[in-house]
Structure 1
Amino acid sequence: MRILIIAPEQIPVPPVLGGSVEITIFAVAKQLAKLHSVTVVSRSHSRYPRHSVVDGVHIYRVPSGGAKKYLAQVRRFLRGKRYDLIQIDNRPRFVAPIKRMFPATKVSLFLHSLTFVSLPYASRSAARLGLNKADLIFANSSSLQQELSRRFPRAAKKITRVWLGVDTRRFRPPEPPRKSDVFTVLFTGRLIPRKGVPVLLKAVHLAGRQTLKPIKVIIAGGSNNPNYAEKMRALADSLGVNADFLGTVPHRRIHLIYRKADVFVCPSQKHEAFGLVNVEAMASGLPVIASSLGGIKEIVHHGNNGLLVLYYREPQAFANALIRLMQDPDLMRQMKYRARADCVASFSWSATAKRLSRIYTSG
C-alpha cells in the first residue's frame, strides 16, 4: 500500500527539537514502513536535505512560511503522483483541497488536539468542512473522540480512537536505579500558561514546607515568550524553590532527562487530548502526578501507576500528592513498576501503527 502522510507546516520531520505531532508522525511512519511504502511531506529546514530516506520512510521537504504557502507547495509536489491512502495530521483545513486533488483516494485526518478545530485557528464551519470531507478521522484518545463527536455530530461515525505510543527501548528506567538525597520533580513541555508551571512551583514550595527531604524541580521546555519564561524563573526565586530551567531540550536527548527524576508532574490547566509526555515518563519508570482531565485519565490510573489531581487549579492539591509519594517509599516503588509495565503493554508505536494499518487495509 502506498501511504502519504502530510505533516503540519510548523516543525520539520523528524523534529529538530520537539513537537509531539511531528514526533508521532515520524515514529508511526517508521513502523508503517515495515508493511507499506510510506512517504512523508514536511516543511523544509536548513539542517535537512530536500529528500531523505530514514528507516524506509521517504521524507520530502517543501518551503513553508505559513499554512497557506505550505499547502500550495505540498500540492505542487503532489501533482502527477498517486497514492492509495493520504493521511493529514492535525490540519483539517488541508483536507478539502487535498481531497479535490485526489477524489478517488481515501483521505484520513489524524487529530492530536482540539486546537485546530477551534478559534482562533478555525471557525466551526471551517473545521466542520474539513471533518466532513475526510473519509476517516483518528483521535488520539477517547476523550478527544468524544469531544469531536459532540461538536461535529455528522462526522461522529467516522472518528476512531488510536492511542499514541513511545519508544520503550529509549525511554526506560536508569540502571542502576537512581539514588539521591534530593527528591527531584520533573516537568517537560512548552512554557505556556495552559501547562500550569506556576501551579507546580507553588506546589513544590508548599510540599517543601511540610517535608524534611529537599525537593528540586527540573523544568525542561522552552517558550516563544521570553517574558513568560523569565516570569517563571522569578516566581521560583520568590518562592525559594530550587528549580533548574533547562530550556528546550532536543527530543533525541529528552529521555536522559527523565532518568534524573523521581516523579513526573503534569499540571495542565486545560484539556489535554493525550499527553505524550506522561507516556514517556511512565516508560522511564516514573510515577505521574497529573491533572484529572481529558485523555490524561486514560493513561494515568489513580493509585496504580500515578496520582490524578481533581482540583488541579489548587497548588495544595499537587503538594498533597507529592507529599504522599515522598512519605511512602513502598507506594513509590509499586507505582514505578506499574507505570513501566502499563506503558510497555499498552503504549507502543508498533501498536499504534498496526491499528492504523488494519483500518487502512480493511477497505
Structure 2
Amino acid sequence: MILRIALISSEKLPVPPVRGGAIQQYIEGILPYLREKHEITVYCISDLSLKNYEIVDGVTYIRLPARSKDEYFNLVTRLLAEFNYDIVHVFNRPRPIKKYWQSAPDSKYIISVHNEMFASKKISKNDAKECIEQVSAIVTISDFIQRGILKKYPQAEGKIRTIYSGVNLQQYQPVWSPAAQEIRKRIKSEYGINNARIILYVSRFSPKKGSHLVLQAMEEVIKENRQTVLLVVGSKWYGTDRVDDYVSYIYSLAKKIQGHIVFTGFVPPADIHKYYACGDIFVCASQWEEPLARVHYEAMAAGLPVITTNRGGNPEVVKGYRNGLVLSDYDSPEQFAAAINFLLKRPELARELGLNGRCLAEARFGYSRVAEDVLKLYEEM
C-alpha cells in the first residue's frame, strides 16, 4: 500500500542540506529509499539557492519563507490542513505537534528526536504529555536521548525506540580504496600537507564541541610527532565563515602550532567526504551531552580510527566495537594528546580500528538500514 507521507524538517536549514545540518542530511539520506515505496513531501525552510516548490526524483519539496520559528510552524499547520497525508513525520520539534494534530487529526504522527527536545527548557510538561499522547511513535537518535525522555515521561514507554542514523556508504569510501587515495593525494597537495600524518577534526567551532581542546592537544602531539598536521574542517555556523570571540580564540591557539594546522572554512555537506579521505585519525571532542554526533558514522565509513568523548550518545557507536578510543577525561587536552600519540605510534592498531569501523558502518550504519527501520515503522502504523 502506497502511503502519502509528509516529512517536516526543522525550521533552521533547508533540504537538501546545501548549508549543512544533521537532520537535513538524515532526511536526504533516507529519501531515495522512502520514495521507492511511498509518496513523499518534504517541508522545510526556504533558501535563496533553492526553489520554494519543486518535484525532484519523485519527491515534492515545499520550502516556506518563514521569518521565525512560529511563523514556520503556522505555515506548516495551514498546509497540513489542505492535504490528506496518511503519516506526518516531524523532525525534532515536539512543541507544534498539537497544532498539526488539530489541523489534520486524521493523519498519524511520528516525532523523531535528535536532541534533548523534551527537556523542561524546551517544552512545557503539558505540551510534552499531549505530544506523547498524540503521536503514534517516538524515534530517538540514540539510547541516551531515549533514556532522557523516559526518565521524565515514562508514559512514552511502548511508543519509543532508537533508530541510529547513518551515512552514504557509496560516498564515504574507506581511506585504503583507490578512489580515496586519489582524493587524498589531491587535497594534501592543495593544502601543501605533503607526507604528514593527518589528525582530522570536522565540527562547528563551539566551546561545547571542544574545538579549543583539540588545538591545545596538538601542541603536545607535535612534540613527539613532528610530521603531523591537524586538518580542521568547519566553521562557526552552517554555511558561513563568520568570526566571533570564540573563533578568534581558536585562531590565536592556531598560531602556537603554525605549520601543523590547516583550516578549510565551511565545506558544503556534498564535499565533506573528500576530507575524510585525507585523515589518519579522527577526533570528536564533544564537551556537552551530545545526542550522538553524525561525524562518528562518517569517520567509521571512511575507515578511520575514532577518538571521542564519553559524553551523551557518542560512546554508543564506539565503546565495545573496537573501532576507536573513548575518553572519560573529556575536558583534558593532555588526554587527547595522549590518545592521538598512542595511535600514531601504533599504526597497525590504528588500521585495525579503522577497518573495524568500516565493517561496522557497512553492517549497521548505512542509510539503507536507517530507511529500512523507518519504513518498517510506517508499515506498523
Shared fold per TM-score greater than 0.5:
yes
Counting only pairs closer than 5 Å after superposition, residues 67-216 of structure 1 correspond to structure 2 as 67-114=69-116, 116-118=117-119, 120-174=121-175, 175-176=177-178, 177=181, 181-209=195-223, 211-216=224-229
After superposing the two structures, state which structure 1 stretch, 297-306 or 320-329, moved more.
297-306
Give the aligned partner of residue 22 of structure 1.
24
The answer to whether residue 317 in structure 2 is matched with residue 299 in structure 1 is yes
Distance 1:348-1:212 versus aligned 2 partners, 3 A rule: closer
The answer to whether residue 305 in structure 2 is matched with residue 287 in structure 1 is yes
Q: Would you say the 8 A contact 2:225–2:341 is kept in 1?
A: no
User: Aligned pair count?
Assistant: 361
Counting only pairs closer than 5 Å after superposition, residues 210-229 of structure 1 correspond to structure 2 as 211-224=224-237, 226-229=244-247
What are the superposed Cα offsets for residues 339-358 of structure 1, whole Å, 9 maximum, x if unpaired? 11110111011111111111
Give the aligned partner of residue 269 of structure 1.
287
Letter in 1 for 2:131: G
What are the superposed Cα offsets for residues 109-153 of structure 1, whole Å, 9 maximum, x if unpaired? 001111x33365434544444334322100011121112111222
What are the superposed Cα offsets for residues 253-280 of structure 1, whole Å, 9 maximum, x if unpaired? 0011111111110010011212111101
Give the aligned partner of residue 248 of structure 2.
230
Q: Distance in 2 between matches of 1:190 and 1:157?
A: 35
What are the superposed Cα offsets for residues 286-343 of structure 1, whole Å, 9 maximum, x if unpaired? 1110002222112113571111111111111111111111001110111121111110
Q: Distance in 2 between matches of 1:259 and 1:346?
A: 21
Instruction: Give the Å deviation of 1:207.
Output: 1.9
Q: Would you say the 8 A contact 2:138–2:161 is kept in 1?
A: yes
Instruction: Give the Å deviation of 1:360.
Output: 1.4
The answer to whether residue 42 in structure 2 is matched with residue 40 in structure 1 is yes
Runs of 5+ unmatched residues, structure 2: 186-193, 238-242
Q: Distance in 2 between matches of 1:212 and 1:11?
A: 40
Counting only pairs closer than 5 Å after superposition, residues 291-330 of structure 1 correspond to structure 2 as 291-301=309-319, 304-330=322-348
After superposing the two structures, state which structure 1 stretch, 234-243 or 192-201, moved more.
234-243
SS at match of 2:90: strand
Distance 1:241-1:121 versus aligned 2 partners, 3 A rule: farther
CA RMSD, aligned part only? 1.9
Q: Distance in 2 between matches of 1:247 and 1:91?
A: 29
Distance 1:46-1:112 versus aligned 2 partners, 3 A rule: same
Q: Distance in 2 between matches of 1:96 and 1:123?
A: 12
Q: Distance in 1 between matches of 2:251 and 2:133?
A: 45
Instruction: Give the Å deviation of 1:50.
Output: 1.9
Q: Would you say the 8 A contact 1:221–1:249 is kept in 2?
A: yes
Q: Distance in 2 between matches of 1:245 and 1:226?
A: 16
The answer to whether residue 357 in structure 2 is matched with residue 339 in structure 1 is yes
Q: Would you say the 8 A contact 2:306–2:324 is kept in 1?
A: yes
Q: Distance in 2 between matches of 1:121 and 1:273?
A: 15
Q: Distance in 2 between matches of 1:107 and 1:241?
A: 53
Q: Distance in 2 between matches of 1:199 and 1:124?
A: 37
Instruction: Give the Å deviation of 1:95.
Output: 0.9
Letter in 2 for 1:218: L
After superposing the two structures, state which structure 1 stretch, 226-235 or 84-93, moved more.
226-235
Instruction: Give the Å deviation of 1:244.
Output: 1.6
Letter in 1 for 2:71: K
Give the aligned partner of residue 60 of structure 1.
62
After superposing the two structures, state which structure 1 stretch, 89-98 or 232-241, moved more.
232-241
What are the superposed Cα offsets for residues 184-229 of structure 1, whole Å, 9 maximum, x if unpaired? 11111211110001111111112222x2342211111111452221
Q: Would you say the 8 A contact 1:131–1:155 is kept in 2?
A: yes
Distance 1:111-1:90 versus aligned 2 partners, 3 A rule: same
Letter in 2 for 1:221: G
Q: Would you say the 8 A contact 2:202–2:295 is kept in 1?
A: yes
Instruction: Give the Å deviation of 1:21.
Output: 0.7
Give the aligned partner of residue 7 of structure 1.
9
SS at match of 1:34: helix
Q: Would you say the 8 A contact 1:165–1:352 is kept in 2?
A: yes
- Output the TM-score relative to the length of structure 2: 0.90
Q: Percent identity?
A: 30
Letter in 1 for 2:350: M
The runs of at least 4 aligned residues of structure 1 exceeding 6 Å deviation read: none
